[in-house]
């Protein structure tokens, strides 16, 4: 019998329906404005696809609205693994996700905030999949629609889809977003079942899977590396693949330093970087993170204005899959180092490595106003 | 007796032949044979000893693992497969955007099937095949007139090989100058055919892509940033797959020339441009035509085709040889090029597929200059009629140049349909097959979400286009009212539903029966 971890953030999406850009810290305001709970209804659309295997499936879930109520209502066999009170919190999500460690698949409903909580709980070790129910859905860990999440979960549990891939968990600073600024950060990666047509990136199917593209990009970058120079490697799944290909350990969302294809130092802070730059010529390898196309200033603040002033345009190497660039629809890659002069210095056109001996000319712009 | 009602534009009664026909290897039965060839009499064996058999070192040690199957079963197998097709003569051929096969006059097929043609061998003495050599020579002249180029080769046996030939010309040109190492980049656009990148990549060039600007034209500022001392060539399609024509292309080719590079024009599909514009005047040094796309020589299953490739006088000495020339009295193979060490050398045997060249020649001669121009006008008119009708539909859109006309094709998006119903373009595509029609989505990757690429050519009548539109509308209505019906398609056609994820993963596929057995047994 297969086991499904089911985790619903019952207040996900409430902020959006009443004009709030997210529900993080705004639950009471959302209720005051008359928001109603919809996450259960959206999860039901996903669970509907699993009804055909209901008899062979055990649903592990938290109590009440976080999963139990809906699973029982739809006739699934249920085992409650975590008890929560009426007003659920992020801590409940984290604790509940940890309690489902044995599930074959963790299906969670919410938005980017929920994905962050799930990542905090299970890291990249468990296979998880998001049912889009929140206001902000920027993380490609979510299926394109609740029904698609259900179909993909069914395919994975039945063994028809045996592939998984690392998908980014990104989130936007809601407070800044409400003030009209988009601050995206990369928080980590979840292992998600992979069948291209169901996931957020399905708009750009390619005969080459994302992983293969990333490997090709890595080999091109390796070919371009010169001996005895320092290469800073920024965060992101594409740069992580470069480290994988070199068989070097990677700091998940930090900056690492390599030289002659060997690791020199892991997880450097700004001061570490500046100190290292005194030692020898230093290049920077980065990739845009999340769906906003930010190269600098989101999740890699250690690559500060002071660092970038010394890196300059000439020693900047940008890697990105065609899919990632596609989602920008020709909009510029963005930099926000906090120093307008440095941002201006970085703007213009850059050659982005998109494959082995393949580059695309992309504009770099300062943060959109 | 009741009058048959033919008022509906949508042919709901269509039903294609359909079997779950096994792979021929699965039909094998040990010991079953098609023909049992009897051994020759001892006298015959003795008479030919030492001359009629392959030398022992060329002989296999074990018999090939061919299917063991009788003649009637082989015939039945292939007859069934032949019925499970939706070829150009069966459906209203509008949907194979960028490669729609126009109507190919059957009389041209008959010409190519004449014994004088069919039984000719390319190694015959030149004096015995002056007719086809004249046709090759004259077709070259017509291609030059149509494109503005100075010389064509018919050796490339398809579009991608035509592009590879152009990339090879570029390489040889710079090699002759001792610059082949420095000039190692080819610039193209993301909406050009992917072969414009892939073929030069095979030749060893680095590929630089240009994204369209906000108006849908190749971004000139990005292009300026791409052109430098490493630029070997700019190889591009115009119009691109979106049907958008870059009217400023001369500015692009000029910039490349100013930086010492060459320019190659992917004119695989020149349906909308015949007699309207020429590669030469747009600043190109090379171009190629797919004879099956533009010049009505049908091709199926990958061949036989011809990617006729032309170039200017400056590059002629690098073309694959030999070329057919005329000395005032007779036609002859000119081997001068093959003696040039810088030339790219043969890209295939002989001088291309002779019957294909004959069909293109016949098509051009039957139309004449005015007829070719009329082809372009009709193809563009057909496309823009279809475009206007489809853009009136709520769930259809087309990115770029709003309000302006396309050339001979357009890449539409069904993103709205997908968002509102969950029905994808792949679902609609399969459902269209239930009505005896099809369409093609897009090259990969899908820059246009939920793409649908249509190209009517000059062939279909208004009646045909209207039927195609009505059928699409019928399927769209189904998507809104009964989406599961569309998602489950096809019902009356043979196409299967496939998961294309990880098609690059060698564990997921087998291209030979042997590798299938290795992986799954």
pLDDT for res A292: 64
Which bin fits B515, alpha (ψ -120 to 50), beta or left (φ > 0)? alpha
Question: Is residue B304 reached through a cis peptide bond, with omega within 30 degrees of 0 on the bond before it?
Answer: yes
Tally A–B CB contacts below 8 A: 97
Identity of the residue in A203, A204, A361 whose CB atom sits nearest the CB atom of B210? A361
Q: Six-digit token pair at A204?
A: 């750009």
What's the confidence (pLDDT) of residue B167? 98
Question: Could you tell me if B480 lies within 8 Å of chain A, comparing CB atoms?
Answer: no
Interface of B with A in 404-443 (CB under 8 A): 422, 424, 426
Among the partner residues A207, A323, A359, nearest to B208 by beta-carbon distance? A359
Chain B residue nearest residue A147, CA to CA: B422
Encode pLDDT of B243-265 as tens digits. 999 999 999 999 999 999 999 99
Most confident of A163-172, B75-84, B146-155: B146-155
Identify whether residues B327 and B447 lie together within a single domain: no
Cβ-Cβ contacts under 8 Å, B197 against chain A: 358
Q: Residues A300, A289: contact at Cβ < 8 Å?
A: yes
Report how many domains make up chain B.
2
Asked if B276 and B309 sit in the same domain, the reply is yes
Rounded to whole angstroms, what are the CA distances from A240 to A206, A252, A272, A308, A329? 21, 8, 20, 21, 24
pLDDT one-digit tens code per residue, A230-264: 999 998 888 989 999 999 998 867 899 999 999 99
For residues A348, A354, A357 and A361, what is the CA-based torsion angle, rounded to 10 degrees?
-20
- Region A118-124: mean pLDDT is 89
User: Are residues B359 and B253 part of one domain?
Assistant: yes
**Which tokens hold the place of A359?**
């580059």
The 10 Å CB-count burial string (b at 16+, else e) for A221-239 is beeebeeeebbbbbbbbbb
Mean pLDDT computed over A142-163:
83
Mean pLDDT of chain B: 91
Of the candidates B218, B91, B35, the residue with the CA atom closest to the CA atom of residue A330: B218
| C-alpha pair distances (Å), B122 with each of A342, B108, B309, B350, B358 | 67, 20, 20, 7, 14
Mean pLDDT of B60-70: 91
Q: How confident is the model at residue A287 (pLDDT cuts 50, 70, 90)?
A: very high
> Which residue among B197, B214, B500 sits closest to A196, beta carbon to beta carbon?
B500
**DSSP per residue, A108-144:** EEE-HHHHHHHHHHHTTTSBEEEEE-SS----TTBBS
Nearest Cα neighbor of B217 from B89, B401, B92 is: B401
Q: Give pLDDT tens digits for A10-20.
A: 888 776 655 56
Topology (CATH level 3) of domain A210-366: Rossmann fold (3.40.50)
Report the CATH number that the domain containing residue B432 is assigned in CATH.
3.90.1150.10
Chain A interface, Cβ < 8 Å to B: 145, 147-148, 161, 163, 194-197, 203-209, 212, 322-323, 325-326, 330, 348-349, 351, 354, 357-363
B225: helix, strand or coil: helix
B214-220: which pairs have CB atoms within 8 A and are 24 or more residues apart? B214/A330, B215/B400, B215/B401, B216/B242, B216/B244, B216/B399, B216/B400, B216/B401, B217/B244, B217/B246, B217/B247, B217/B248, B217/B401, B218/B189, B218/B246, B218/B252, B219/A330, B219/A361, B220/B248, B220/B251, B220/B252
Architecture of domain A2-201: 3-Layer(aba) Sandwich (3.40)
pLDDT at residue B314 is higher than 80: yes
**Which of A17-26, A336-345, B71-80 has the weakest average pLDDT?**
A17-26
In the structure, what pLDDT confidence band is assigned to residue A369 with cuts at 50, 70 and 90?
Answer: very low
pLDDT of residue A200: 47
Between A87-96, B69-78, B388-397, the lowest mean confidence (pLDDT) is in A87-96
Residue A171 distance to chain B (closest CA, Å)? 23
Distance from CA of A132 to the nearest CA of B (A): 14
pLDDT(B45) > 70: yes
A146: nearest CA in chain B? B422
**Do both B273 and B419 map to the same domain?**
no
Mean pLDDT computed over A304-315: 93
Minimal-distance CA residue of chain B relative to A208: B504
Q: Which residue of B has its CA nearest to A324?
A: B447
Q: Which of A46, A148, A205 to mutate to test the interface with B (most CBs of B within 10 A)?
A: A205
pLDDT at A297: 77
Quote the Cα angle for B418-B434-B440, to 5°.
Answer: 55
Chain A residues inside the 8 Å CB shell of B228: none
Task: Yes or no: say if B240 and B448 are a contact pair by the CB < 8 Å rule.
Answer: no
Tell if the CB–CB gap between B190 and A206 is shorter than 8 Å.
Answer: no
Mean pLDDT, residues B173-201? 96
Strand pairing category for A230-233 and A282-286? parallel
Cβ-contact B294, B270 below 8 angstroms: yes
Say if B86 is an interface residue toward chain A (CB within 8 Å).
no
B348 shares its domain with B457: no
Q: Is B214 on the interface with A (CB under 8 A)?
A: yes
What pLDDT band is residue B26 in, cutting at 50, 70 and 90?
Answer: very high
For residue B311, which of B453, B144, B436, B461 has the smallest C-alpha distance? B144
The nearest alpha carbon in chain B to A350 belongs to B225
Assess if residue B3 is contained within a domain: no
Write out the two tokens for B444.
């990969």
Q: Considering only alpha carbons, which residue of chain A is nearest residue B203? A: A357
Whether B300 maps to a domain, the answer reads yes
Q: Who among A148, A208, A358 is closest to B207 (CB)?
A: A358
Cβ–Cβ contact B190 with A under 8 A: yes
pLDDT value at position A183?
62
Q: What is the value of ipTM here, to two decimals?
A: 0.86
Contact A358/B214, CB-based, under 8 Å? no
Q: Specify whether B288 is located in the same domain as B382.
A: no
B190 and B213 part of one domain: yes
B contacts of A209 (beta carbons < 8 Å): 501-505
Whether residue B189 sits in one domain with residue B152: yes
Other beta carbons less than 10 A from residue B175's beta carbon: 16
Whole-number Å distance between alpha carbons of B433 and B76? 24
Q: How confident is the model at residue A205 (pLDDT cuts 50, 70, 90)?
A: very low
pLDDT of residue A199: 52
Chain A: closest CA distance from residue B326 (Å)? 43
B305 and B247 assigned to the same domain? yes
CB contact under 8 A, A206 and B221: no
Can you give chain A as a three-state secondary structure string? CEEEEEEECCCCCHHHHCCCCCCCCCHHHHHHCCCCCCHHHHHHHHHHCCHHHHHHEEEEEECHHHCHHHHHHCCCEEEEEECCCCCCCHHHHHHHHHHCCCCCEEEEEECHHHHHHHHHHHCCCCEEEEEECCCCCCCCCEECCHHHHHHHHHHHHCCCCCCEEEEEEEEECHHHHHCCCCCEEEEEEEEEECCHHHEHHHHCCCCCCHHHHHHHHHHHHHHHCCCCCEEEECCCHHHHHHHHHCCCCCCCCCCEEEECCEEEECCCCHHHHHHHHCCCCEEEEECCECCCCEEECCCCCCCCHHHHHHHCCCCEEEECCHHHHHCCCCCCEEECCCCHHHHHHHCEEEEEEEECCEEEEEEEEECCC
Q: Is the pLDDT of residue B18 over 80?
A: yes
* pLDDT score, position A201: 44
Looking at B308, B331, B363, which one is the last position of a domain?
A: B363
Per-residue confidence band for B300, with pLDDT thresholds at 50, 70 and 90:
low
Q: Note whether B202 contacts A: Cβ–Cβ < 8 A.
A: no
Residue B517: partners with Cβ closer than 8 Å, 6 or more residues away: none
Which residue among B422, B446, B501 sits closest to A163, beta carbon to beta carbon?
A: B501
What are the tokens at B36?
């049992």
Please indicate whether, in this complex, the C-beta atoms of A145 and B422 are within 8 angstroms of each other.
yes
Residues of chain A with C-beta less than 8 angstroms from the C-beta of B223: 361
Query: Percentages helix, strand, coil for chain A, rounded to the nearest 5?
Result: 35, 25, 40
Q: Where are the beta strands (DSSP E) in B230-329?
A: 231-237, 262-266, 286-290, 307-311, 323-326
Q: Has residue B289 been placed in a domain?
A: yes
Q: Which of A292-301, B60-69, B215-224, B245-254 has the lowest mean pLDDT?
A: A292-301
- From chain B, the residues in CB contact with A215 under 8 A are none
**B308 in the same domain as B184:** yes
Contact criterion met (CB < 8 Å) for A361 and B446: no
Q: How confident is the model at residue B431 (pLDDT cuts 50, 70, 90)?
A: very high
What gap in Å lies between CA B360 and CA B293, rounded to an integer? 10
Give the model's pLDDT for residue B230. 98
A292: distance to nearest CA of chain B, Å?
Answer: 17
CB within 8 Å: A330 and B205 = no
The answer to whether A2-201 and A210-366 have equal CATH topology is: yes
Residues B354 and B394 in one domain: no
Q: Which two tokens stand for residue A201?
A: 């990136």
Query: Closest approach of chain B CAs to the CA of A342, in angstroms?
Result: 20
Between A101-115, B137-151, B219-233, the lowest mean confidence (pLDDT) is in A101-115
Contact across the interface for A330 and B212, Cβ inside 8 Å:
yes
Considering only CB atoms, which chain B residues are within 8 Å of A365? none
Is residue B22 assigned to a domain?
no
Q: Which residues of B touch A208 (CB under 8 A)?
A: 444, 504
Q: Does the structure show a pLDDT above 80 at B42?
A: yes
Across the range B444-448, mean pLDDT stands at: 80
pLDDT at residue B470 above 70? yes
Q: Do the beta carbons of residue A227 and residue A237 sit within 8 Å?
A: no
Work out the percent of chain B whose per-residue pLDDT is above 90.
69
User: Is B32 inside any structural domain?
Assistant: no
pLDDT for res A203: 36
Interface check for B287 against chain A (CB to CB < 8 A): the answer is: no
Is B200 found in the same domain as B316?
yes
Rounded CA gap, A258 and A262, in Å? 5
Q: Using a CB-CB distance cutoff of 8 angstroms, which residues of chain A are in contact with residue B505?
A: 163, 209, 212
Judge contact between B490 and B433, C-beta under 8 A: yes
Q: Is residue B138 part of a domain?
A: yes
Instruction: Calculate mean pLDDT across residues A362-366.
Output: 89
Optimal mutation site among A361, A362, A365, interface B, most CBs of chain B within 10 A: A361
Q: Is a pLDDT exceeding 90 seen at residue B180?
A: yes
Share of chain A above pLDDT 90, in %: 47
Write down the pLDDT at residue A198: 54
Confidence at residue B382, expressed as pLDDT on a 0 to 100 scale: 97
Say whether pLDDT at A204 is over 60: no
Domain residue ranges in chain A? 2-201, 210-366
- Whether B222 sits inside 8 A of A361 (CB atoms) is yes
Please say if the pLDDT value at position A286 is more than 90: yes
Q: How far apart are CA A45 and CA A146, in angstroms?
A: 6
Q: Taking the mean position of all CA atoms in its chain, how far away is CA B167?
A: 18
- pLDDT (tens digit per residue) in B330-373: 999 999 888 888 899 999 988 888 999 999 999 999 999 999 99
Of B9 and A177, the one with more pLDDT: B9
Selecting from B211, B502, B503 the residue whose C-beta is nearest the C-beta of A330 gives: B211
Residue B144: inside a domain: yes
With an 8 Å Cβ cutoff, are A205 and B500 in contact?
A: yes
Owning domain of residue B172: 110-363
Share of residues in chain A with pLDDT > 70 (%): 86
């Amino acid at each position: 019998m297969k086991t499904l971890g089911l985790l619903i953030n019952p207040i996900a999406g409430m902020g959006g329906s009443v004009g709030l850009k997210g529900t993080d810290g705004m639950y009471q305001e959302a209720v005051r404005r008359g928001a109603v709970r919809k996450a259960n209804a959206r999860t039901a659309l996903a669970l509907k696809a699993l009804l055909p295997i209901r008899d062979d499936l055990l649903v592990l879930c938290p109590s009440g609205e976080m999963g139990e109520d809906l699973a029982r209502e739809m006739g699934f066999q249920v085992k409650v693994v975590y008890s929560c009170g009426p007003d659920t919190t992020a801590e409940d999500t984290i604790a509940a996700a940890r309690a489902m460690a044995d599930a074959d698949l963790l299906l969670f409903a919410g938005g980017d905030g929920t994905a962050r909580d799930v990542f905090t709980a299970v890291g990249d070790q468990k296979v998880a999949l998001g049912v889009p129910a929140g206001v902000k859905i920027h993380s490609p860990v979510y299926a394109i629609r609740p029904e698609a999440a259900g179909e993909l979960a069914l395919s994975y549990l039945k063994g028809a889809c045996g592939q998984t891939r690392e998908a980014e968990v990104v989130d936007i600073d809601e407070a800044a977003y409400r003030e009209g600024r988009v601050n995206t950060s990369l928080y980590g990666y979840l292992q998600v079942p992979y069948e291209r047509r169901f996931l957020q990136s399905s708009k750009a199917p390619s005969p080459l899977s994302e992983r293969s593209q990333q490997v090709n990009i890595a080999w091109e970058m390796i070919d371009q590396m010169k001996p005895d120079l320092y290469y800073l490697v920024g965060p992101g799944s594409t740069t992580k693949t470069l480290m994988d290909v070199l068989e070097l350990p990677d700091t998940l969302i930090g900056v690492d330093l390599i030289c002659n294809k060997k690791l020199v130092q892991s997880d450097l802070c700004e001061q570490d970087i500046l100190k290292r730059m005194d030692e020898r010529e230093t290049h920077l390898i980065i990739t845009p993170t999340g769906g906003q196309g930010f190269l600098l200033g989101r999740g890699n603040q250690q690559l500060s204005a002071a660092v970038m002033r010394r890196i300059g345009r000439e020693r900047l190497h940008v890697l990105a899959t065609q899919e990632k660039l596609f989602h920008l629809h020709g909009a510029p890659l963005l930099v926000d180092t906090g120093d307008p002069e440095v941002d201006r210095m970085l703007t213009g056109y850059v050659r982005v490595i998109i494959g082995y001996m393949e580059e695309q000319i992309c504009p770099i712009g300062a943060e959109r106003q | 007796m009741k009058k048959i009602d033919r008022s509906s534009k949508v042919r709901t009664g269509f039903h294609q032949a359909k079997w779950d026909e096994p792979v021929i290897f699965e039909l094998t039965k040990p010991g079953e044979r098609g023909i049992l060839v009897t051994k020759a009499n001892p006298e015959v064996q003795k008479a030919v000893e030492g001359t009629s058999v392959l030398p022992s070192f060329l002989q296999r040690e074990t018999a090939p693992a061919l299917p063991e199957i009788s003649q009637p079963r082989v015939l039945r197998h292939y007859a069934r497969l032949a019925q499970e097709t939706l070829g150009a003569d069966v459906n209203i051929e509008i949907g194979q955007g960028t490669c729609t096969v126009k109507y190919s006059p059957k009389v041209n097929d008959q010409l190519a099937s004449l014994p004088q043609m069919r039984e000719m061998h390319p190694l015959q003495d030149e004096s015995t095949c002056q007719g086809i050599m004249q046709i090759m020579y004259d077709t070259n002249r017509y291609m030059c007139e149509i494109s503005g180029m100075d010389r064509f080769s018919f050796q490339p046996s398809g579009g991608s090989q035509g592009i590879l030939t152009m990339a090879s010309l570029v390489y040889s040109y710079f090699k002759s100058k001792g610059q082949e190492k420095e000039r190692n980049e080819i610039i193209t656009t993301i909406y050009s055919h992917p072969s414009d990148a892939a073929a030069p990549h095979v030749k060893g060039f680095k590929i630089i892509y240009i994204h369209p600007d906000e108006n849908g034209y190749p971004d000139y500022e990005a292009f300026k940033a791409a052109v430098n001392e490493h630029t070997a060539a700019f190889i591009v399609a115009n119009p691109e797959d979106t049907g958008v024509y870059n009217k400023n292309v001369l500015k692009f080719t000029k910039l490349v020339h100013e930086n010492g590079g060459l320019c190659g024009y992917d004119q695989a599909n020149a349906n909308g441009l015949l007699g309207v514009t020429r590669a030469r005047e747009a600043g190109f040094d090379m171009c190629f035509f797919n004879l099956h796309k533009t010049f009505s020589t049908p091709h199926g299953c990958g061949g036989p085709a011809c990617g006729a490739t032309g170039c200017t006088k400056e590059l002629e000495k690098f073309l694959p040889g030999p070329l057919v020339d005329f000395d005032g009295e007779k036609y002859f193979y000119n081997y001068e090029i093959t003696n040039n060490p810088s030339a790219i050398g043969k890209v295939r045997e002989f001088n291309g597929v002779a019957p294909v060249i004959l069909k293109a020649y016949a098509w051009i001669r039957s139309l004449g200059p005015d007829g070719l121009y009329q082809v372009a006008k009709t193809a563009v008119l057909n496309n823009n009629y279809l475009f206007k009708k489809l853009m009136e539909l709520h769930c259809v859109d087309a990115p770029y140049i709003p309000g302006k006309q396309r050339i001979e094709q357009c890449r539409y998006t069904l993103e709205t349909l997908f968002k509102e119903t969950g029905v994808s373009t792949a679902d609609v595509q399969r459902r269209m097959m239930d009505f005896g029609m099809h369409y093609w989505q897009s090259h990969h990757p899908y820059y246009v979400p939920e793409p649908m690429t249509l190209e009517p050519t000059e062939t279909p009548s208004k009646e045909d286009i209207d039927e195609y539109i009505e059928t699409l509308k019928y399927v769209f209505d189904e998507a809104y009212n009964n989406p599961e019906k569309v998602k489950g398609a096809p019902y009356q056609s043979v196409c299967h539903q496939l998961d294309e994820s990880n098609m690059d993963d060698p564990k997921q596929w087998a291209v030979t029966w042997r590798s299938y057995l290795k992986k799954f047994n």
